[in-house]
Amino acid sequence: MGENILDYTLQELEESIIELGEKKFRAAQIFPQIHDRNIRNFDEFKNIPKELSEKLKSKFEIRYPELIEVRNSSIDRTKKFLFGIPGTNEKIESVLISEKGRNTICVSTQAGCNAGCEFCATGKMGFKKNLSAGEILAQIYTVTREIGEKPSNIVYMGMGEPFLNYDNVIKSLKIITDEKGYGLSSRKITVSTIGFTGKIKKFAEDLTSVDNKLMRNIKLALSLHSTDRGLREKIIPLSKINPLPKIFEELNYFYKTTKNKVTFEYIYFEGLNDTENDIKRLTKLVKMFPSNINLIPFHPIDFPMGAPLERYSGKEFSLSKDKIFDFIEKLKKNGVIVNLRNSAGVDIYAACGQLAGRNQK
């Protein structure tokens, strides 16, 4: 197979065009046709000579994952897209959440995941493959074509841990914010991570680099889920080597460097992470730097979970709405900005933690 031209930044494409014996300006003609107009055949490119089209074919492919299945939720307007990765047996999923005039695309960065979080179906699959920048972008471009317009927002919260595929994630962000290509504003993009020492700081520095000025306003979300270090290390195993105190230090650095507000993602586990001590610690945490909490109801997964989440396994756990609203009210009384996230697409296993890269009957 030829190299996937979707993987190339504009600068890299310029260098390749020169190597093919063509003028540099040709790259600026080609780049938007790939990334903005979603053209998937070199013969359909406009304003370039046939000779150049043939040269492009000799070196590149425009390679997209195979769209295997689109599932529609019966309870809301959520869609889930199942893709097959060419040349492999691996599958990934993307989600389109449509609500209140907004279209949010949730994209995957890995097939499977090597973080192994107890509450996440993707983590229970194990690691399969890091996605290339082009494989990340192809999900966005395919969904864009399906809905006929660019999304309101993009969140890197699908299958996989973005910071364990850091270089390809950064490259995809650089490409998608390029004004000569897809041209999405960085204000509309959020990257989610469980937190890695060194990586959060590097992310802040990359966003504020002179070379990445169009990425400047990308937001960061931390999958927190517990303020108790012992509990968090049980449900997020990699947090043992990425302890919360160090992560909080880096988040503070991220805010001071970028001035971008941080979001804490917090799955609600009744009786585990909703104690008075949790409320006190969360209140203290959000006062360290501007931030808010997205509270997420637990979504059932059909993978067995170990302690302390085993009681959530094998059945749809009955969540007490009164208790979750009481938890929210206590946080709000302490001045915490907290939002209850909707369980979009829960019936098609498209909600937070449910993606597993497989056909669902």
Closest CA to 288 of 262, 327, 257: 262
Annotate 44-75 with b (16+ C-beta within 10 A) or e (fewer).
Answer: ebeebeeebbebbeeebbbbbbebeeebebee
Question: Strand runs (DSSP E) across the chain, as ranges?
Answer: 3-4, 60-61, 66-72, 79-84, 91-99, 102-106, 110-112, 127-130, 153-156, 189-193, 219-223, 262-268, 291-297, 338-340
Distance between CA atoms of 204 and 29, rounded to whole angstroms?
32
Residue in 22, 90, 93, 265 annotated catalytic: 93
**Catalytic residue list contains 106:** no
Helix axes 199-207, 166-176, angle to 10 degrees: 20
Backbone angles phi, psi at 317, to 5 degrees: -65, 135
Distance between CA atoms of 339 and 265, rounded to whole angstroms?
10
Burial of 322 (0-12, 13-18, 19+ CB in 10 A): exposed
Distance between CA atoms of 59 and 360, rounded to whole angstroms?
37
Q: Which residue is associated with the tokens 């020169």?
A: 18
Number of Cβ within a 10 Å radius of residue 118: 23
Residue in 106, 113, 120, 352 annotated catalytic: 352
Integer-rounded Cα Rg, in Å, for the chain is: 21
275: left (phi over 0), alpha (psi -120 to 50) or beta: beta
Number of Cβ within a 10 Å radius of residue 23: 11
Q: Which residues are catalytic?
A: 93, 352
